[in-house]
Amino acid sequence: MAAIAWSPKAIQELEVICNYIGKNSEYYARLFAGNVFKRIESLALFPQSGRVVPEYKQSNLRELIYQNYRIVYRTKPNLIEVVWITQGARLLPKNL
């Protein structure tokens, strides 16, 4: 079972998304965050379950799609690093 770590940028992006959702509904913001955490926790057992990020084509850089958001993570031996969360229409940065 792999450990899970979050990059500071991924934490910041999740906060921004939840604050945006929370403007209309605190309930749905909490629900969204909880579901994101559940999806990420499942990676501890199934790290290859996400698809390879098409823009990068690196087998260790993968993503999960939740609603219209991309949860980008990097697989390392015994570690899953969540590196980015973004709305699906936004471009990913050149270097993750």
DSSP 34-59: HHHHHHHHHTTT-TT-SEEPTTT--T
pLDDT one digit per residue (tens) for the chain, 96 residues: 889 999 999 999 999 999 999 999 999 999 999 999 999 999 999 999 999 999 898 999 999 999 999 999 999 999 999 999 999 888 787 777
CATH of the domain at 26: 3.30.2310.20
**Owning domain of residue 24:** 3-87
Structure confidence by residue, pLDDT tens digits, 60-81: 999 999 999 999 999 999 999 9
Q: What is the pTM of this model?
A: 0.91
Whether residue 95 is contained in a domain is answered as: no
Angle between helices 26-42 and 8-22 (to 10 degrees): 150
Whether residue 43 is contained in a domain is answered as: yes
The 3-state DSSP class for residue 23 equals coil
Cβ count within 10 A of residue 21: 17
Whether residue 74 is contained in a domain is answered as: yes
Residue 27: what pLDDT? 98
Whether residue 92 is contained in a domain is answered as: no
**How many structural domains compose the chain?**
1
- 11 vs 16: CA distance, rounded Å: 9
Both tokens of 32, joined, read: 């969204």
Whether residue 35 is contained in a domain is answered as: yes
The dihedral region occupied by 62, where left means phi > 0, alpha psi between -120 and 50, and beta the remainder, is beta
